[in-house]
Amino acid sequence: GLLNELPIGPRAAQTFALPIKTIVKAGKEYFLTLRYLLKTEEPFLEKGYELATEQFVYGGAAAPYQALVQNGDLKVEETADKVVVKGKDFVASFDLKNGLLTSYVLKGEELLAQGPKPAFYRAPTDNDIGAGLNKSLRMWRNVYDEKSTLLTQKVDKSNPKSLTIFFRSSLLNGDAETEQLFTIQADGTIKVDNRLIAVKGKYRALMRVGNDLQLNKQLNAINFYGRGPGENYWDRKTASLIGLYKSKVNDQYFPYARPQESGNKTDVRWVSFTNTKGKGLKFEYAENFLSFSALPYTIEDLDPEAEKKQYHSGELVQRDKIYVHMDLQQLGVQGIDSWGSMPLSEYQIPYKNQQYSYWIKPIK
């Protein structure tokens, strides 16, 4: 709607009737977004320039996805090292030696090449480096690849329409454990339940609680429902309004002078990655809203290492995969200063038990 006149003086209050419909349906969420635009051109500002904006929760709540009873049965091929699950139009392969989903093929095309892999590190920001986190939290970098031991694996084939695969791994010489439960439905939908167990040890904080995934580079089209359109973080998101947004993976990275963490989105209800034919994958929250990023670069590409090596974003070379973070949360990015302070305590992730879940759904 549009309000052409606001006859109200400074420090005054007045009630207005908004020219909008007020239909609220169950299972839906609604927001009221107000924008204050210039009616006439002014010096250096064109007509229609947005001077201010604010968004309010209007009503309702987003209903998380609930799996339905599926038609058709799953076929399972299991060896000592691998489990291959086949259903209508899809094949999902799991490595029983490292506890990872190693491939997801939809109608003959591989869409996912690796993941979801437990991850607790991000490419350090300049503020992270100022606080020394590139050194003090470095033990979490590649922790699942380099400092983990698979403890338990269990495949439950008792339900022909819904198979479960469970992995438990030890990290950092037993200081922590991760658990992942994959529930595969007959239509190709997969629920991913993640859990971090802080067994012992003391660590300053966690940079992330999330998963790393590698997608086919052809899934370049992004659609998401969350905060956007630009990058936003736990402690830097108020100006990013909740809405439906479209973008491309190649447009997600902001070229800071020094390569670093970039492109995150918060309060995400769902995000999809599709190719030019509309085929792809959709990730949808199950309990808590998600944070995600999708870049043509790895964490290692954006990490200046502990010695803070000097290089620039213009030197980055795009990879042949899309590297996705599908997270519960990321550490805040702002400190009181940029040469030693952590983010405010309410935007830190303590080393303690954490858990979250989401769905992976095929888009055919």
Q: How confident is the model at residue 328 (pLDDT cuts 50, 70, 90)?
A: very high
Same domain for 13 and 156, yes or no, is: no
Domain shared by 296 and 183, yes or no: yes
Domain presence at residue 58? yes
Residue 96 has pLDDT above 70, yes or no: yes
- Sorting pLDDT into bands at 50, 70 and 90, what band is 21? confident
Q: Are residues 255 and 359 in the same domain?
A: yes
Token code pair at residue 247 = 């973008």
Radius of gyration over alpha carbons of the chain, in Å?
A: 23
| Higher per-residue confidence, 280 vs 14 | 280
pLDDT tier for residue 151 given thresholds of 50, 70 and 90: very high
Neighbours of 47 (CB within 10 A): 10
Q: What is the pLDDT of residue 175?
A: 98
d(CA 254, CA 129): 18
Cβ atoms of 329 and 120 closer than 8 Å: no
What value does the mean pLDDT take over residues 127-151?
A: 96
More confident site: 336 or 140: 140
pLDDT at 305: 85
Q: Specify whether 47 is located in the same domain as 191.
A: no
Is 97 domain-assigned?
no
The reply to whether 182 falls in a domain is yes
Range of the domain at 22: 1-63
Could you tell me if 117 and 58 lie in one domain?
A: no
Q: Is the residue at 13 inside a domain?
A: yes
Average pLDDT over residues 112-119: 96
- pLDDT confidence of residue 69: 65
pLDDT digits (tens, 9 = 90+) for 161-197: 999 999 999 999 999 999 999 999 999 999 999 999 9
Q: What is the CATH number of the domain that holds 130?
A: 2.70.98.10
| Residue 57 confidence (pLDDT) | 87
The sign of the CA dihedral 167, 285, 355, 242 is: positive
pLDDT band at 18 (very low <50, low <70, confident <90, very high): confident
Whether the Cβ atoms of residue 118 and residue 181 lie closer than 8 Å to each other? no
Tell me: do 203 and 337 sit in the same domain: yes
CA proximity to 216, closest of 81, 102, 92, 110 = 110
Task: Report the percent of the chain where pLDDT is more than 90.
Answer: 82
> How many Å apart are CA 297 and CA 49, to the nearest integer?
35
pLDDT at 61: 76
Query: What is the dihedral angle through the alpha carbons of 73, 77, 83, 89, rounded to the nearest 10 degrees?
Result: -50
Q: Is residue 271 part of a domain?
A: yes
For the chain, how many structural domains are there in total?
2
Token couple for 28: 């839906």
pLDDT over 90 (residue 351): yes
More confident residue, 71 or 342: 342
Handedness of CA 307, 311, 313, 318 (dihedral sign): negative
Strands 221-228 and 270-274, bridge-based pairing: antiparallel
316 found inside a domain: yes
Mean residue pLDDT of the chain comes to 94
Report the candidate in 27, 95, 115 with the shortest Cα–Cα distance to residue 64.
27
Tens-digit pLDDT profile for residues 48-88: 999 999 999 877 777 888 777 677 899 999 999 999 999 99
Cα 268 from Cα 264, distance rounded (Å):
10
Residue 276 tokens, joined: 């030019």
**Model confidence over 276-304: pLDDT tens digits?**
999 999 999 999 999 999 999 999 999 98
If pLDDT is split at 50, 70 and 90, which confidence band does 16 have?
A: confident
Q: What is the pTM of this model?
A: 0.94
Same domain, 162 and 30: no
